[in-house]
Amino acid sequence: MNWQLDLDPSTNSNIYMHLYKNVKNAEDIVKKLIEGKLKCSAIKPSLIVDPFQVVVAANKASTAKEFKTKTVYSEILFNLSISKNITASLKTFGASDGDKDLLIVLINKINEAAETIDFINGEEVNVNRISELTDVNLVKKNYKIGEEEFQNNDLLDSVVSRIAIK
């Protein structure tokens, strides 16, 4: 059920995504992420329109000459946001204790994937179903997409444009 794609050829990296519903141990996941014991990004799927949005943020993180955050995984969260505030970006897009749905992202970590995936206590669903969990109003608010732009442009295009120009 995972989703995989090659990132920029210069990075020689792949991105892997796993989508979970009804997660029962989000608090433990957040704790392990903070402690650095899980090597992944845990993203709120309510803010994700399409997996491509995450690919753009991951590609930007993977090709960066230096990170603004500590790891490639926090850099992905930072790149998803239009904010320059690292803490706000991580809080907005990163998992929090009460989350029931999570999108888990790994970069070239097949050997760590099993450990991460086994730790998550939830129902894995196909990543292509992410739009079922998207909160369009929350996306519009976080990416500052006005009603006129929303009516005249594809939402994914608007979001990806903002990520790319940050």
Q: The domain that contains 72 carries what CATH number?
A: 3.30.2380.10
Average pLDDT over residues 127-154: 97
Average pLDDT over residues 92-114: 87
Split into its structural domains, the chain has a count of 1
Tokens found for residue 158: 């608007």
Per-residue pLDDT at 57: 97
Which backbone phi and psi does 130 adopt, to 5 degrees?
-60, -30
Helix (H, G, I), strand (E, B) or coil at 49: coil
Helix (H, G, I), strand (E, B) or coil at 153: coil
Q: Which residues pair with 106 in a beta bridge?
A: 16
E strands within 58-153?
Answer: 102-107, 123-125
The answer to whether the CB of 124 falls within 8 A of the CB of 20 is yes
Query: Which amino acid, 2?
Result: N
The answer to whether the CB of 133 falls within 8 A of the CB of 101 is yes
Predicted confidence band of residue 11 (pLDDT cuts 50, 70, 90) = confident
Pairing of strands 41-43, 102-107: antiparallel
Predicted confidence band of residue 127 (pLDDT cuts 50, 70, 90) = very high
Give per-residue pLDDT as tens, 80-92: 999 999 999 999 9
Q: Which domain holds residue 112?
A: 3-165
pTM value surpassing 0.85: yes
The answer to whether the CB of 77 falls within 8 A of the CB of 94 is yes
